[in-house]
Amino acid sequence: MTSLEQFIDERLIRGRAHFSREEALAALDLKPEALAAAITRLMKKNKLANPRHGFYLILRPEDQITGAPDPVRWIDPLMKHQGLDYRISLLRAAAFHGSSHQAAMVFQVVAPQQLRDFEIGRHRLQFLYQAPKAFAQINQPDYLDEMKSDTGFAKVSGVELTLLDCARYFHKATGINGVAQIAKDIGAKADPRILANVASAYENSSVRRLGYLLDRAGHVRQAHALEPFAKKAKTAVPLDPSVKPLLESFAELYEKDTKWKIIINEPVEIDF
């Protein structure tokens, strides 16, 4: 009879450092209670990790130091296990596309369902929710890239989606100044046509903020592609909505960018 340890060894030989509870039950002549006990024993020995219910990571010796492999190696099978589409985005994606200013201390994933953040070993995973309709519209191969690891590929937002995600979820991308730096670092790589196409799935205010930051960074072509969104806007919005309070009585104290209909309530600093 094949043991759980043998099953794990066979998975590793085939380059699959993960398994689901259902896969183990199908391969092993074990009752659910016996399998649960065997898994618990290996977890106590730091040979398995459990990022989500019913999904397990096989820890190789080098992974045991950090408590889990880099999430890029297992985020794709994890999301498939949960039956969800996804994309790696924000800081990790910005670094992937060349924003060296951003140290990605958190692994951020956009999904069409609200998911609980979690930590595993030294890794922290953060999930950002995007409404299913908008997500389905833009989470398409033409707008995505692939992040390669020694176990396969994971979906990562293309440059255009990365910029828009950072502008939309700016509070998770080290704030407006962090987004400004990302726009400076990778904005020139964005295809203006694609940028305009995918921007239609985002709130107009987020698109305008990105347009303003691209303009500030000198990426004229990319900023120009977003100008039609600014022309549709009827009211100005603060550059940084997290600065509270922004009372109407004080709004006149702030500079306004009439092109983008943005109230500059936070100074932007970019390293050139």
Confidence of residue 100 (pLDDT cuts 50, 70, 90): confident
Q: How many CB atoms lie within 10 A of CB 214?
A: 28
What tens digit of pLDDT does each residue of 233-265 get?
Answer: 999 999 998 876 555 555 567 789 999 999 998
Is the Cβ–Cβ distance between 30 and 12 less than 8 Å? Answer: no
What tens digit of pLDDT does each residue of 44-73 get?
Answer: 999 999 999 999 999 999 898 889 999 999
What is the chain's alpha carbon radius of gyration, rounded to the nearest angstrom? Answer: 22
Its pTM stands at: 0.92
Q: What percent of the chain has pLDDT over 90?
A: 82
DSSP secondary structure letter of residue 191: -
Instruction: State both tokens at 163.
Output: 């910029």
The better pLDDT of the pair 1, 205 is held by: 205
Lowest mean pLDDT among 72-86, 98-112, 219-233, 247-261: 247-261
Strand partners of residue 262: 237, 257
Does residue 214 have a pLDDT over 80? yes
The pLDDT value recorded for residue 103 is: 62
**How many whole angstroms separate alpha carbon 81 and alpha carbon 92?**
22
The dihedral formed by the CA atoms of 90, 95, 97 and 100, expressed in degrees to the nearest 10: 130
**How many whole angstroms separate alpha carbon 225 and alpha carbon 223?**
5
Name all domains of the chain by residue range, CATH numbers in brackets: 4-69 (1.10.10), 75-227 (no CATH)
The pLDDT value recorded for residue 266 is: 85
Instruction: State both tokens at 107.
Output: 């692994």
Is the Cβ–Cβ distance between 225 and 244 less than 8 Å? Answer: no
Measuring CA to CA, how many Å separate 8 from each of 36, 43, 56?
A: 14, 13, 10
Does residue 101 have a pLDDT over 90? no
- Name the amino acid, one letter, at 55: F
Q: What percent of the chain has pLDDT over 70?
A: 94
The pLDDT value recorded for residue 247 is: 53
- Name the amino acid, one letter, at 167: A
The better pLDDT of the pair 267, 100 is held by: 267
Lowest mean pLDDT among 108-122, 197-211, 244-258: 244-258
What tens digit of pLDDT does each residue of 14-36 get?
Answer: 989 999 999 999 999 899 999 99
* φ/ψ (deg, to 5) at 68: -175, 155
The pLDDT value recorded for residue 241 is: 87
Please name which of 37, 73, 64, 81 lies closest in space to residue 28, comparing C-alpha atoms.
37
Enclosing H/E stretch for 56: strand 55-58
The pLDDT value recorded for residue 183 is: 97
